[in-house]
Amino acid sequence: MTASCPENPWATPEASAAREARTEAVRTGPPRNGAVRSAGPVVTELRLSAFASHRGTVLPVGPLTLFAGAGGSGKTSVLRAYEALARLGAGDPLDEVFPDPAAYVPERAGPDAQGRRGFRIGCTATGPAGPVRLDLAVQAEPALRIVGERLTGGGETLLTTALRDPRGSTVQAAWHTAGTVPVTRAPLPDDLLGTALLPLRVAGTTEGQLRVLAAAEQMVVALRSVFVCEPQPQRMRAPVPGGEGRLRRDCDNLAAVLERTHTQCGQRHARLVAATAAGCAGTVRGLGVERLPDGLLRAVVERDGGHLTPVGRLGDGELRYLALALVLLTGPGVLAMDAAAEVPSAMQTLTVLVDGLDRDLDGRQMAELLTLAASVGSTGHLRLVGTVAEAAAARARGAADATVVDLGP
């Protein structure tokens, strides 16, 4: 049975130094309604200490963040690092997160005396426990493994891991206890994020243990509340089976999700129709689905006089625009993602990652999407992080509420 789609998607539990100097964050204007306070823990900084083309890169992440730069500037790598941290926070094993780990070892990085090469990434999550930092060192060669992890908060080191036996499959972990034993030590797997394992290993009986748990849970919730959206127009045109009411990252089951929003989410569906009318050519009176003789669903756009246009006839830009608007107007319960179900949705903030946000979009569509993202994000329940080709163009297209980070040529 398909889960319900409440009008408020957040109301239920469904739910290197040189390079750093070149990284300039340009805030294009103050938020129209003041600073946006997030409903739950969020990632506020990314650190690519040594990852792909990045060395010592520190990047701010705000409610609406656009990483800009020409091809080869490393903007896609930024989102790849963010997604990797999110997946590790959700408990995914290292080899699934990095199927080709050598691709992320910085160029010209030679092996050490033991023939090892790797990369380092990290982030800061801000929430009730204050700023909490996570830093991760990953060995890519000769064998993929996490060789070092550090979780810090409140001026204290709360968790550290280190590789003690290169021949084994574990790392030695030490976390803050502040009891009769100041530090607890235990082995942890070298292919999983230790921070994500702490809620299962820490008893929470001392003040120190409670601080460790609060920091770890804040980081995990911030990382898990991520949906990666990669609309593929060529896959969105074909009819789909019904009953698949959770939107996948490539948005190929758009029709099934539109059927769900049309029947169960009246207010949000009406807002989606208005957004579609603002970003697509011609008159748009409605959005719906047709059930074909073979039982498959086809998404349609309603025009004047009740004329129906299959969405398969829309251009690539229009399809991408429609899919992105749908994502911005829905919540975790309508998106195929592993949200932190143990935390009430009202205490989470969804972050949507979109590589090539401006791909195939004209200036009007881009401006409408940014306006929509700022409007929806003003409640503190949604953040949008994307990449665009040009910083100046993004600012010119109405990104008044955005943090535009220019990664240069």
Task: Find out whether 383 and 351 touch, Cβ atoms under 8 Å.
Answer: yes
Average pLDDT, the chain: 87
Q: How many structural domains does the chain have?
A: 2
Q: What is the pLDDT of residues 129-149, one digit of tens each?
A: 999 999 999 999 999 999 999
pTM passes above 0.85: yes
Q: What is the pLDDT of residues 171-220, one digit of tens each?
A: 999 998 877 778 999 999 999 999 999 998 998 888 899 999 999 999 99
The answer to whether residue 107 sits within a structural domain is: yes
Structural domain ending residue among the three candidates 338, 370, 389: 338
Pair (269, 174) in one structural domain: no
The answer to whether residue 56 sits within a structural domain is: yes
Candidates 220, 203, 249; CA nearest to 79 is 249
CA atoms of 399 and 344, how far apart (whole Å): 31
Candidates 253, 250, 255, 247; CA nearest to 231 is 250
The number of residues making up the chain comes to 409
- Give the range of the structural domain holding residue 315, as residue numbers without chain letter: 232-338
The answer to whether residue 201 sits within a structural domain is: yes
Bridge partner list, 176: 183
Structural domain ending residue among the three candidates 225, 243, 272: 225
Beta strands in 255-357 (DSSP E): 286-291, 297-302, 308-310, 350-354
Least confident of 29-43, 307-321, 359-373: 29-43
134 contact partners, CB below 8 Å, separation of at least 6 = 85, 122, 123, 124, 125, 149, 150, 151, 195, 219
Pair (218, 310) in one structural domain: no
Alpha helices (H) in 128-206, listed in sequence order: 194-201
Pair (180, 44) in one structural domain: yes
Least confident of 26-40, 172-186, 277-291: 26-40
Q: Which residue has the higher pLDDT, 21 or 106?
A: 106
The answer to whether residue 388 sits within a structural domain is: no
Give how far Cα 49 sits from Cα of 4, 78, 176, 207, 342, Å: 43, 11, 25, 32, 32
Flag whether pLDDT at 400 surpasses 80: no
Q: What is the pLDDT of residues 289-317, one digit of tens each?
A: 999 999 999 999 999 988 999 999 999 99
CA atoms of 16 and 88, how far apart (whole Å): 24
Residue 29's pLDDT is 33
Least confident of 19-23, 67-71, 332-336: 19-23
Q: What is the pLDDT of residues 81-106, one digit of tens each?
A: 999 999 999 999 999 999 999 999 99
Pair (220, 277) in one structural domain: no
Buried/exposed 108-122: b ≥16 CB within 10 Å, e otherwise: eeeeeeeebbbbbbb
| 345 confidence band (pLDDT: 50, 70, 90) | low
